[in-house]
Amino acid sequence: MNFDDTPQEAEFRAKARAWIAANAPREYEDELKKAALGRIQLKSANILEVAKAWQKKKADAGWAVPHWPKEYGGRGASPIERVIWQQEEGVFGKLGALFIIGHGMCGPTMMAFAREEHKLRYLPPLASGEHIWCQLFSEPAGGSDVAGLRTRAEKDGDDWVINGQKIWTSGAHHSDYGILITRTDPTVPKHKGLTMFFLDMKSPGVEVKPIKQANGQAEFNEVYFTDVRIPDHQRLGAVGDGWNVSLTTLMNERMAIGAGVATGFPELFDFVNNLTLEDGPAIENPAVRSKLANWAVRASGLRYTSFRSISALSKGERPGPENSIGKLVAGAMTQEVATYALDLQGASGVLNSPEDAEVAGKFQAMLLRSPATRVEGGTDEILRNIIAERVLGLPGDIRVDKDVPFNKIPTRGRA
Amino acid sequence: MNFDFSDDQKQLRDEARRFLTEKSPPKAVRAVIDGKEPYDRELWKGLADMGFLGVAIPEAYGGSGAGHLELCVIAEEMGRALAPVPFSSTVYLAAEALLLAGSEAQKQKWLPAIAQGHAVGTLALFEGAGNPSPKAIKLTASNGVLNGTKKPVADGAIADFAIVAARTASTGRDTDIALFLVDLTSEGVEAKALTSIDPSRNQAEISFKNVKAELLGAPNEGWSILSQVLDRAAVLVGFEQVGGSDRALEMGRDYALDRIAFGRQIGSFQAIKHMLADMYVSATLARSNCYYGAWALSTDAAELPEAAAAARISATQAFQHCSKNNIQVHGGMGFTWEFDCHLYYRRSNALAVGLGSLSYWEDQLIERMRKKNAA
Ligand SMILES: Cc1cc2nc3c(=O)[nH]c(=O)nc-3n(C[C@H](O)[C@H](O)[C@H](O)COP(=O)(O)OP(=O)(O)OC[C@H]3O[C@@H](n4cnc5c(N)ncnc54)[C@H](O)[C@@H]3O)c2cc1C
């Protein structure tokens, strides 16, 4: 048992470290370090531009999405090298938030299902951050139940004509392309009549409307489709096989989102360490200590669980459904941690501007963003189902709509 | 990075599991709970024959000298099987104290006896309610003679010798405490078995009246040795708790697949599925924290105190969480004497306080993190 790199891993790490040391945008390091969940902004520059420039620089040197094949813009790194890269990129990795969906979900889906010529054309600019992609899955009627979606695609000559609405689409407002799942046959059970495409977000008939989020920001959108035409060669997988294609995306999503999720504990420990309460330093208060210890062991438990997965990767094993615990634990934890940090701040916990609030409003931002972590990329309940069914082998939920044609499934709970 | 046990260590775990499944089935645990014997002597002998008692004892003292990672995998299986033997007192506490601070003569005398299963040892620390603290030690040592009472002493009524924490001065400093090695057959020692929430492990009160004892380690270092012993034991008991958590989860899962209600397997009800998923989560976090503890223990890393406290807290929470919810999954059956659920529930709650309570370790963890942060 050890934490050492193998000689090859050490060599890769040294190379990555040297390159990052020489090239990273150090001028933003402090700001990025301070950025908390739900508030990644730069005072001195436009974050979008800084992020794109960093991604481009990486791409030129072969460090963009290192685990992708070379011909698609990566460097053919192994899964463990990918992790090493992330460790070394450290705080600058926060600049990649904008690309998570493209790199984590759209890219892998394209790689698995697109034609070779499309891969060669679309993947390198996706890797280099020149193009941003979004994932058009969720709909008002289909979130957890992704297969419950209603956006229609109808064949018309060599094209498909799309009508309908997507929702909660992160980054759609600055996306160039998207992967889109549609219903092509409403007369068969819901998982059977789906088909997947990719499309140009600038296509006529695509309308993106930002949604103001509960935390006041606007990262996600409604996307409307009115007679949008997609050529058949932009179909991913067979007609009617969209569900299987989407499983590839969702599997990759859990890996992309589950890796290295923030818990909020280091921030909390720091805060409490420097806080004085009425009766002395907060860190000496037994009740505070007990709370901290509980979160400390959850955070360290997650950290060492990820080390165990990394060790498995290092031996060439594939990540499995057990990785669902990362987001499940961290999501709930950031919410609890933020609530408690405000509680410790007493009346001033209510203040929300970075200027007036304690520690630049870090915990207020975390409080207001954390509910989303428990929903996006699979809700807590869906993740528990995955653990119960796929790890522990318990029976699947009863599916009353399993063999029913989609157009016969009820649409509202109350008449 | 290779943050995992080696193939050889995993093989040892399988071997220990096979052995304990056969030799320490619930029936054997119940024989001890029913009071027929204070512990399972045959199992104890078997563990000695398998070399499990001396796995972390150097060859020079009659052990196999394999190491602490090997002891961790065995500990996990001991916990999974609820082995009704004085393993933790003898191997984690007494043997570790001897290894850390014993004189050559003391090691030569007791370590081979432990490895061969001839001697049961324990640590006599507590004197009534409370957590490990130098202040709580009232039993006195003067001129090598002990006077006072210890309670509870794990496996105290079956132990052949004890490491006893005693007060040698009253300056209010940690250096007031010294450790003594006492042959429990000595004149003036009286051990009385006590009933406990987990009768599969013996608990006792031991009184000392003018008992002659030999010093273990330097006279002013008793508390410091003791803290190290407790940290080491915290990791090892952590593995017992992880083994117990896993078994309780497995029992719950199996029952959920087997039992039908409302025409369905109860494991198809989401409330039950989610309860089991949460048990999996806490068992997994505990396992990962314990692996880190195992690494720190086996390499004698400076991180051991912090790693040990984290392992202790996480494993205590996981075992309590899994064992209580295992009963819930089993419904009324879970509350019968006949089903094994309560054996795990009992053991989880006994282990939760045996090295000092959860709140004690929480306090320790934060204190240690704080010191590291300040450094
Ligand atoms: C910040 C953010 C960004 C997002 N970005 C994207 C994006 O880029 N692209 C995209 O396609 N989607 C995106 N989503 C959508 C996200 O994937 C869905 O919100 C999520 O899957 C939940 O679906 P829903 O919102 O329809 O909730 P619902 O499915 O309606 O869930 C409501 C409640 O019912 C529970 N529930 C539902 N089904 C079950 C079940 N089987 N068992 C138990 N409980 C159940 C849920 O857990 C939840 O508590 C984003 C969401 C958020 C919050």
Least Cα separation, residue B297 to chain A (angstroms): 11
Query: What's the whole-number average pLDDT of chain A?
Result: 93
What pLDDT, in 10s, does the model give residues B206-241?
Answer: 999 999 999 999 999 999 999 999 999 999 999 999
Tens digits of residue pLDDT in A64-113 = 999 999 999 999 998 889 889 999 999 999 999 889 999 999 999 999 99
Residue A260 has what pLDDT? 67
* Cα–Cα distance for residue pair B126/B206, rounded to 1 Å: 11
Between CA B32 and CA B35 the distance in angstroms is 5
Judge whether B143 is closer than 8 Å to chain A, CB to CB. Answer: no
Pick among A300, A306, A329, A402 to test the B interface (most B CBs inside 10 A)? A300
Instruction: Supply the pLDDT for residue A415.
Output: 60
Indicate the pairing of strand A276-277 with strand A280-281.
Answer: antiparallel
Q: How confident is the model over A110-169, as pLDDT tens digits?
A: 999 999 999 999 999 999 999 999 999 999 989 999 999 999 999 999 999 999 999 999
**pLDDT at residue A336 greater than cutoff 90:** yes
Contact at 8 Å (CB) between B153 and B206? yes
- What does the pLDDT look like over A273-299, one tens digit per residue? 999 999 999 999 999 999 999 999 999
pLDDT for the residue B256? 98
Q: Is-contact B141 B150, C-beta < 8 A?
A: no
Q: Please name every residue paired with B206 in a beta bridge, in sequence order, or none if there are none.
A: B150, B191
Note which residues in 183-242 of chain B have CB less than 8 A from chain A.
none
**SS3 label, residue A29:** helix
Residues of chain B under the 70 pLDDT cut: none
Give the HSE-up count for residue A102: Cα atoms under 13 Å, Cβ half-sphere.
26
Mutating to test ligand 1, I would choose from A168, A254, A381, A384 the residue with most ligand atoms within 8 A of its C-beta, which is A168
In the reported structure, the alpha carbon of residue A220 is separated from the centroid of ligand 1 by a whole-number distance in angstroms of: 13
pLDDT classification of A255: cutoffs 50, 70, 90: low
pLDDT at B141: 97
pLDDT the model gives residue A248: 86
Task: Tell me how close the Cα of B277 comes to any Cα of chain A, in angstroms.
Answer: 5
Q: Rounded mean pLDDT of A364-390?
A: 95
Give pLDDT, residue A45.
Answer: 85
Q: For residue A316, what pLDDT is reported?
A: 82
* Digit-coded pLDDT (tens) for A312-335: 888 888 778 888 899 999 999 999
Q: Whole-angstrom Cα distance, residue B135 to residue B119? A: 30
Rounded to the nearest angstrom, the distance between the alpha carbon of B209 and the centre of ligand 1 is 69
CB contact (8 A) between residue A301 and residue B264? no
What percentage of chain A has pLDDT greater than the value 90? 79
Residue B287 to residues A262, A288, A302, Cα–Cα distance (Å): 20, 25, 10
Of B6, B41, B30, B153, which is closest to residue B81 (Cα–Cα)?
B30
Residues with CB under 6 Å of ligand 1 are A 101, 134-135, 137-138, 143-145, 168-170, 220, 372, 375-376, 379, 381-382, 385, 397; B 270
CA distance A295 to A344: 15
Cα–ligand 1 centroid distance for B33 (angstroms): 50
In this predicted structure, the answer to whether residue A257 has a pLDDT above a threshold of 60 is no
Q: List A36's β-bridge partners, or say none.
A: A39
Q: Is the ipTM of this complex over 0.85?
A: yes
Taken in order A92, A94, A98, A103, is the CA torsion positive or negative? positive
Q: A324 and A383 in contact (C-beta within 8 Å)?
A: yes
The pTM assigned to this predicted structure is 0.95
**Amino acid sitting at position A171:** G
